[in-house]
A and B are shown apart, each in its own frame.
Chain A
Amino acid sequence: ARRCASPAGDKMAGADGDDSLYPIAVLIDELRNEDVQLRLNSIKKLSTIALALGVERTRTELLPFLTDTIYDEDEVLLALAEQLGNFTMLVGGPEYVHCLLPPLESLATVEETVVRDKAVESLRKISHEHSPVDLEVHFEPLVKRLASGDWFTSRTSACGLFSVCYPRVSSTVKAEIRQHFRNLCSDDTPMVRRAAASKLGEFAKVLELEYVKSDIISLFTALASDEQDSVRLLAVEACVSIATLLPQEDLETLVMPTLRQAAEDKSWRVRYMVADKFSELQKAVGPEITKNDLVPAFQNLLKDCEAEVRAAAANKVKEFCENLPEDSRETIIMTHILPCVKCPEVRLNIISNLDCVNEVIGIRQLSQSLLPAIVELAEDAKWRVRLAIIEYMPLLAGQLGVEFFDEKLNSLCMAWLVDHVYAIREAATCNLTKLVEKFGAEWAQNTIVPKVLGMANDPNYLHRMTTLFCINALSEACGQEITTKHMLPVVLKMSNDQVANVRFNVAKSLQKIGPVLDSNCLQAEVKPVLEKLAADQDIDVKYFAQEAVSVLALA
């Protein structure tokens, strides 16, 4: 259907045939169909219907209809709320945008949160299309109606609309808006107070500074002392926004007392929020206050009696340390932060962020305080904890340097190779490879290769196999000389092992390390052994030997 340019007129642009009206007629009828999918479909095509009707009929017929016959299926209402947010042109442009307010006002009172939120979002969108006059004549009265509505739902929706209409209205109206917001902050019902608390920061941002100091601060303090835990914890979020708006000298008197109170709140959930927002708070309050107030608060959160709070604080250690002022960073970390860290999870977190901490603290100092933790975690009963530490090992080795590693951590790495959990042995093997890449082939030859090869004589066949897996992983990094001189003889010797699993892994190893060896060696030493294995009794050994022969092209 073509857009109708003329206003009233029920003869539509379908003069070329009634066919063009038919699909629209179907859509309109389906707005009231029993089947929710059909209603949903029509709602999603609302713009098509509006185009066919033209701007005037959309305003005078379609919108009133939608306002009066709101069904309760969430999906339909949600789609409708979304559509209306984009309807400005379809009702005739900004001059008429206020016609969209009645249906959206109705949607802003439904009990389903997602629908209300979408209606509020659309209202916020179209508020920008209202002229300042229209804001005062149409929009602000809507906000007032919602704010004084009987139902919790309308009052909670009102909270989301104050910040969009405040900037462009006259000062009398501004005063009214501020009053309404104040009322909602002390509403009887927790639902409304929560909505007000969650919008406090956003509203503060559009207010003039004098009102932030006079109105917002007292509202913030009141909400932060609310009897409902769920309200107090939302006030913590608002704290960040408010702190960002105030000049430094006012923070100490206006914001810090409340923040201190929140960090020591009886409810662990409020303390959790403080921990969770800690980095943002740190940025908002600046270095001085951080040093004097936030550091002790952070210490307490790291030592909190509730594990959830400790974990949230631990997550922020890295960021907190990074954002400390350079001159005092080292002292603060060494004297205040590290000592608070007792439990394994938190220590692991610090260890993983060593690359930042290391820059300011000496290796010896660091290792003294952290090495016991590393050893403890490396030997933890839970294999996943051991696995996590192995994964940090290459990084640690790089941070701490080869001497320290050899002295303190080498034995750990070797012990992991014979752990009773396969995943650990596998990770340990991979770890060795990375270490060789970091420290070089010569180091490998002197320190780890002898130990790895020593395992070839272990009575446990699993450990003998680990030798082979290590050799597989290390041969390329170690290079031809070491592989030929030291590793190959051990592999070849294991071809006589009693256990078939070991023997077929010998074949696989030879296949893996073959490319590193020179062709003389391959012909003279590897080929005979593979041929012997190809004639083995065990069919797996035969299979892998034959495959190795063909892959290495030794046939």
Chain B
Amino acid sequence: MAKLVDQHDHHYCTADVISAVEFSQSGEFLATGDKGGRVVIFQREPQGEYNVYSTFQSHEPEFDYLKSLEIEEKINKIRWLPQLNSAHFLLTTNDKTIKLWKVSERDKRPEGYNLKDEEGRMKDISKITSLQVSPVLRPMDLLVEASLRRVFANAHAYHINSISINSDCETYLSADDLRINLWNLDITDRSFNIVDLKPENMEELSEVITVSEFHPHHCHLLAFSSSTGTTRLCDMRSRALCDQHAKLFEEAVDPANRSFFSEIVSSVSDVKFSHSGRYLLTRDYLSAKVWDLNMENKPVETYQVHDYLRSKLCTLYESDCIFDKFECAWNGTDSVIMTGAYNNFFRMFDRASRRDVTLEASREVCKRRAVLRPRRVCVGRKKRDSDISVDSLDFRKKILHTAWHPTDNIIAIAASNNLYIFQDRHSHHAGHHLEQDRPPQLQDAPAQ
């Protein structure tokens, strides 16, 4: 495993880098996935803090012998199911295989065997004069078990980038670079292909699917975005195969801004429906856009995340940073949107007031219960001491994965191997952070 060293000389493994963050539907739980294929689940305590609830190994590295390719164990996405009963269910996926996990609690254990005594030694058979069925249940320390319930494999020739659960609670989609498949949560040996972008001749390939998501309420609508900057809305009611989109959301590129990098920076890296189901939030390299589902030709709002990078695109291209995929998120009332940036900065935009703030998630800055101070990036001369110059931004520190609690003002930010959780108290930003490189307890998931 390669070891990376951050500027404060803290060693951590690439395996610990967080690659997915997701709140459960009620917000009581928060799951993170990392490059090493592990999932850590946090539970919100009555006092409001999130503490580790369960840890398990979701995916292992594999080798595809047919193509001589390694399949990474990195968790690409996690999605929680709506709660069915007292246990909790979540879908996790790497590049090729999706898994359904059940996380349940056990707090009682039966005691008293017929053939063994209290210490577990076998009893003398001749001493057994009666049969005992143990009605005695002794309380035990809470045991949280994660068990693998389903494996959905072998349906994707390309790398899976998204999973999304339908509002019917019965089906879900998985998307790779060229195809989107529809699954039933109970059936692992069959999936239906609903979108197929693969051209007859691969040399004609001009776009790939980057993200796909189901509408939160309408079971027949799904959105998928592409590397060419378009987002399509498909209606599963009209056809079995949804290659024809019902709507196409695309903004014409301003000719003044056109450059060699225009298409690359227009590639959409994340798509999220608003909780209301009326809007779509898309994130491309430099901006975040809010679209009204009823208007396809331009977004209703555009937010510049880090426009100061426009002059640095060449350097970012050379370092591959231009291909970084940032996620975005809505708050519970759809009034604020959030997305990550470089230098461990993340940005929040209030849609009504049009005010925005840049905050930093890093160890030096975040002490428990400290209030975060807004940061500013300046292009020219520094106006304040706390400003950061564009040229001193650390592009190795990127906030790609962010999540917002479904109802409350609590956000989870992943910065390489660290997870930060911030809560809004009395309209200040206060926070505590949890480190990923020293997991408190690692439980072995049952071998499958």
Residues of chain A having any CB pair with chain B under 8 Å = 10-12, 18-19, 21-22, 24-26, 28-29, 32, 52-53, 57, 61-62, 64-65, 68-69, 72, 109-111, 113, 151-154, 189-191, 194, 227-230, 266-269, 305-308
Q: Please, which residues of chain A bring their CB within 8 A of the CB of B134?
A: 32, 65
Check A25/B128 contact, CB under 8 A, given A72-B147, A189-B82, A190-B219.
Answer: yes
* Number of B residues with CB within 8 Å of any CB on chain A: 42
Residues of chain B having any CB pair with chain A under 8 Å = 82-87, 89, 102, 104, 108, 110, 113-116, 125-135, 137, 147, 167-170, 186, 217-220, 236-240
Chain A: CB-nearest residue to B133 = A61
Q: Please, which residues of chain B bring their CB within 8 A of the CB of A11?
A: 129-130
Chain B: CB-nearest residue to A307 = B240
Could you jot down 27 A-B contacts, CB within 8 Å? Answer: A12-B131, A21-B129, A28-B131, A32-B113, A32-B134, A53-B133, A61-B133, A62-B133, A69-B108, A69-B137, A72-B102, A109-B85, A111-B84, A113-B186, A152-B83, A152-B85, A153-B85, A189-B82, A228-B219, A229-B168, A230-B168, A266-B238, A268-B237, A268-B239, A269-B237, A305-B239, A308-B240
| C-alpha gap A21/B126 in the complex (Å) | 10
| C-alpha gap A494/B12 in the complex (Å) | 84
Check A306/B240 contact, CB under 8 A, given A18-B126, A21-B130.
Answer: yes
| C-alpha gap A153/B86 in the complex (Å) | 10
Check A25/B114 contact, CB under 8 A, given A65-B135, A153-B84, A227-B219.
Answer: yes
Q: Please, which residues of chain A bring their CB within 8 A of the CB of B240?
A: 268, 306-308
Chain B: CB-nearest residue to A53 = B131
Q: Please, which residues of chain B bring their CB within 8 A of the CB of A64?
A: 135
Best-buried of B85, B104, B116, B217 by chain A (most CB within 10 Å): B85
Contact between A22 and B128, CB atoms less than 8 A apart: yes
Chain A: CB-nearest residue to B104 = A72
Expressed in whole angstroms, the minimum distance between the Cβ of B215 and any Cβ of chain A is 11
Expressed in whole angstroms, the minimum distance between the Cβ of B109 and any Cβ of chain A is 9
Check A230/B131 contact, CB under 8 A, given A32-B110, A109-B85, A268-B239.
Answer: no
Main SS of chain A's interface residues? helix
Q: Please, which residues of chain A bring their CB within 8 A of the CB of B236?
A: 229, 267
Q: Please, which residues of chain A bring their CB within 8 A of the CB of B219?
A: 190, 227-230
Best-buried of B86, B130, B170, B236 by chain A (most CB within 10 Å): B130
Out of A22, A228, A269, name the residue touching B125 (CB < 8 Å).
A22
Expressed in whole angstroms, the minimum distance between the Cβ of A315 and any Cβ of chain B is 16
Contact between B86 and A21, CB atoms less than 8 A apart: no
| C-alpha gap A230/B171 in the complex (Å) | 10
Check A306/B239 contact, CB under 8 A, given A61-B135, A189-B82, A227-B219.
Answer: yes
| C-alpha gap A65/B131 in the complex (Å) | 14
Contact between A65 and B237, CB atoms less than 8 A apart: no
| C-alpha gap A18/B219 in the complex (Å) | 63
Q: Please, which residues of chain A bring their CB within 8 A of the CB of B108?
A: 68-69
Closest 10 CB pairs of A and B: A25-B114, A267-B237, A151-B85, A61-B133, A10-B130, A111-B84, A190-B168, A230-B168, A153-B85, A266-B237
Q: Please, which residues of chain A bring their CB within 8 A of the CB of B238?
A: 266, 268, 305-306
Check A228/B104 contact, CB under 8 A, given A69-B137, A266-B238, A268-B239.
Answer: no
Q: Please, which residues of chain A bring their CB within 8 A of the CB of B135?
A: 61, 64-65
Q: Please, which residues of chain B bring their CB within 8 A of the CB of A306?
A: 238-240
Contact between B102 and A111, CB atoms less than 8 A apart: yes
Q: Please, which residues of chain B bring their CB within 8 A of the CB of A29?
A: 113-116
| C-alpha gap A381/B78 in the complex (Å) | 47
